[in-house]
Amino acid sequence: MTSLIEVENIGKTYGSVIALSDVSTVVNAGEVTCVLGDNGAGKSTLIKILAGVHQHDQGSFKVEGDEIKFSSPREALDRGIATVYQDLAVVPLMSVWRNFFLGSEPTTKFGFLDRKKGREITKKALSDMGIDLRDVEQPVGTLSGGERQCVAIARAVHFGAKVLILDEPTAALGVKQAGVVLKYVAQARDRGLGVVLITHNPHHAYPVANRFLLLKRGRALGSYEKNEIDINELTRQMAGGAELEALEHELRGVEA
């Protein structure tokens, strides 16, 4: 089976800053590849390359077997790579269903906006993902952060994305909402999409992911299939092992 995405020894510099160097991973249909790492690790740089925002200057990037260098996000989208950014490109005062289409609304045969159809399609797409919104006419700004992420995921699935990239979708969420978003990540996976999930939190990553790519200062600290690493070891590696032990030492005696 050809991977949806395959990067090999990929690298990117911004002027003299090496943001990413020598990183390799795959994204397969029906699987979640999780990218973990601390601030400045290169996570966003990696997904911006996949999403067509930036171009790599080292290594190889293949989409369904074809060597690729996207020159715009539009090109990535045309190849079925959809990205949901942390800040979400939503218009808060616009209704949920208009946000769902954002420019590709259905029209009547006379070319007018078909509101009824738009609302129906949105309602159906959301309910297919198990998202039950009372009213798709309500402004998207009235939804919780978690619900907005869910609408964005349902949107990518509806418009036929093959790869869904999520940049820290659970970062700003409470435990319960993070759980809901992760449930939809699992649903997108089970519908056959390849998912790239970026997170700081190994506890969010572990249940849904098939493989883990750990980045640190632009380099791969490790790359594991799920059966190669347990949650404790993943957490330890994330925290930088020795660094964590040093921190524990520092914190000894500060408990109340």
Cα distances (angstroms) measured from residue 248 to each of 47, 124, 185, 234: 33, 50, 34, 17
Strand partners, 194: 163
In the complex with Mg ion, the residue whose CB is nearer, 43 or 155, is 43
Site string for Mg ion, 56-85 (x = CB under 5 A): ------------------------------
For residue 107 the two structure tokens come to 């029209």
Q: Which helix (H) or strand (E) holds 5?
A: strand 5-14
Question: Collapsing DSSP states into helix, strand and coil, what is residue 246?
Answer: helix
187 belongs to the binding site for Mg ion (CB under 5 A): no
| DSSP states along 94-146 | SBHHHHHHTT---B-TTS-B-HHHHHHHHHHHHHHTT---S-TTSBGGGS-HH
Q: Which is nearer to ligand ATP, 95 or 199 (CB)?
A: 199
Among 28, 44, 99, 187, binds Mg ion (CB under 5 A): 44
- List C-alpha distances in Å: 211 to 145, 153, 184, 206: 26, 20, 18, 9
Q: Least separation, in Å, of the C-beta of 147 and ligand ATP?
A: 23
Contact range with Mg ion by CB under 5 A, out of 38-46, 58-66, 111-119, 222-230: 38-46
Instruction: Report if residue 227 touches ligand ATP, rule: CB under 6 A.
Output: no
50 is a site residue for ligand ATP (CB under 6 A):
no
Site size with ligand ATP, rule: CB under 6 A: 11
Q: Which does 89 bind (CB under 5 to 8 A by kind): ligand ATP, Mg ion, none?
A: none
Given the rule CB under 5 A, which of 40-48, 73-81, 201-209, 212-220 is the region that contacts Mg ion?
Answer: 40-48
